[in-house]
Amino acid sequence: MQTAHQRGAVLNKFRRYPRIRVPTPFTCSVSRLEPAGWFRKPSENIGVVYDLSLRGVRMSTEAPIKPGDLVSLRLRLPHQVAPAEIAVATVRWTKDQVYGLAFRKLSEAARSRVSKYMAIISMVRC
C-alpha cells in the first residue's frame, strides 16, 4: 500500500516546481490586496500552511478570500528569523476553508528562504 509521501513523490515527477508536504504545519499571515478606501482598514488574518513549493502553497484560513482574489503572505518558516514575504499571490481554488495559492511576486530573499526550507525538509525525509 502506498503512503501519502510515496504518492506525493510520484506526483512531483510531473511538476515543474516540486511541492513538499510540510511535516509540521506552520503559520502565516494573509492579507487581501484591495484598493485603499477612506474607511477601509487593511486586515490581516492567520493561516496554516500544509504544502509548499516555489510557486505556491496549500493553506487553511478563515480569511474571507475566494478564487481570483489577490493576497499578500508572510510565511513564518520554522528555524528562520525573518518571514518570507510574498508580495502577491492569487487564490486558485478553495475547498472547505483550504486554499491553493499561486505566487505571482516573490522577492529573491523570499525565494531563497523558501528554497532553503524545502531543501532542509527534503534532506530530513531521505
Residues 4-125, CATH architecture = Beta Barrel (2.40)
55-72 average pLDDT score: 92
**Per residue in 20-58, pLDDT tens?**
677 677 788 888 887 655 555 667 889 999 999 999 999
Q: What number of other Cβ atoms are within 10 A of residue 52's Cβ?
A: 24
Which of 23-42 are b and which e, b meaning 16 or more Cβ less than 10 Å from the residue's Cβ?
Answer: eeebebbbbbeeeeeeeeee
Record the pTM: 0.77
